[in-house]
Structure formats: structure tokens, C-alpha cells
């Protein structure tokens, strides 16, 4: 059972365009992370959001955690070729559980 669904699965856009990636679940998470993974490398943590409704900005990337802590979104403004990669959301349940539930992934390609 995939607990975190990401949409879209694939996205091909041109440099300068804006985009939004969604991460949805029916479960509540104590925190949610976004990672970016490039070919041949492991995922790299971009941000952690822990409070419902929280918005975090990282240069051209804006992350939002849903009020009910069941969903999140990643918005990229003026995409650049360097943004190309696989974007993964991951949820943590809190308590003593130490495993993350990863989303299905969104593969983004930004062309010139």
C-alpha cells in the first residue's frame, strides 16, 4: 500500500516556467520532508516541515505542509535545468518509529 501519492509522476517543462508538485495521503504525519535525487546519487534533503499550514522557502522553492498534516506541495518558480531530478516527499509518523514512508516520486526535466 502506497501511503503517499505524488502528482504528477512526470513533468517536462522549459526553463523559466513555474510548477507545483503535490504529495497527498490519507494518513497524518508528524513531519514531512522533501528530497531531490539525481541520477546515480542518493536523495538529498531539501526541507523538513513539521507544523500544519507551515510554509518554507528555499530560494525559488516553496514548500507547504497541509493544515491537517496529510499533504504537502512543492512549488518551483522560474525553473532552471539544474532543478532536473526526482523529487520525493517522505513522511514520518513520530513516536518511536524511525522509518520514513516515501512518496511515489515526481520526475522533473527542465530544458533550455
- Residues within the interface to other proteins (CB under 8 A): 2, 30-33, 35, 40-45, 48, 50, 88, 90-92, 94-105
Q: Which residue, 49 or 76, has its beta carbon nearer to other proteins? A: 49
Shortest distance, CB of residue 79 to other proteins, whole angstroms?
Answer: 23
Looking up cell 536523495, which residue turns up? 43
Shortest distance, CB of residue 71 to other proteins, whole angstroms?
Answer: 16
Q: Which residue, 73 or 104, has its beta carbon nearer to other proteins? A: 104
Number of Cβ atoms within 10 Å of the Cβ of 93: 16
Q: Which residue, 66 or 105, has its beta carbon nearer to other proteins? A: 105
Q: Which residue, 8 or 94, has its beta carbon nearer to other proteins? A: 94
- 37 grid coordinates: 535525487
Shortest distance, CB of residue 48 to other proteins, whole angstroms?
Answer: 6
| Gap between the Cα atoms of 86 and 108, Å rounded | 6
Shortest distance, CB of residue 31 to other proteins, whole angstroms?
Answer: 5
| Gap between the Cα atoms of 14 and 70, Å rounded | 30
Amino acid at each position: 500500500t502506497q501511503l503517499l501519492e505524488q502528482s504528477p509522476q512526470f513533468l517536462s517543462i522549459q526553463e523559466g516556467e513555474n510548477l507545483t508538485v503535490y504529495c497527498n495521503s490519507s494518513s497524518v504525519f508528524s513531519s514531512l520532508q522533501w528530497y531531490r535525487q539525481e541520477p546515480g546519487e542518493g536523495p538529498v534533503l531539501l526541507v523538513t516541515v513539521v507544523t500544519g499550514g507551515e510554509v518554507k522557502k528555499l530560494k525559488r522553492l516553496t514548500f507547504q505542509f497541509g493544515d491537517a498534516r496529510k499533504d504537502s506541495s512543492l512549488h518551483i518558480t522560474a525553473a532552471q535545468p539544474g532543478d532536473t531530478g526526482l523529487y520525493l516527499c517522505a513522511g514520518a509518523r513520530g513516536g518511536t518509529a524511525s522509518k520514513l514512508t516515501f512518496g511515489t516520486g515526481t520526475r522533473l526535466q527542465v530544458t533550455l
